[in-house]
Amino acid sequence: MLPWIIIAILIYIIYLLITKYEKKISNLRKLIELNREQIQENTENIKINKDEIFENKSNITKNKKALELNQSALEHLK
């Protein structure tokens, strides 16, 4: 009779461990999916920022030329 009680207790412990493991796996899957969504969102933001950086670069170049023209005009006025 004692071996059957030990076997039943071991089966119950294994059941608890498996259930606990499955819950952890489920939580990890949810976290992985959230990370995938965040990665996709960040990728889109990177593309948007890249375009904005390119626009700002061209605006900086235009402003630099305008400043150089203003500097040369000030030099001529002196």
For tokens 């305008």, name the residue: 66
Split the chain (78 residues) into runs of 10 and give each run's mean pLDDT: 92 97 97 96 95 92 90 82
pLDDT at residue 1 in the model: 83
Torsion sign (Cα): 50, 51, 52, 54: positive
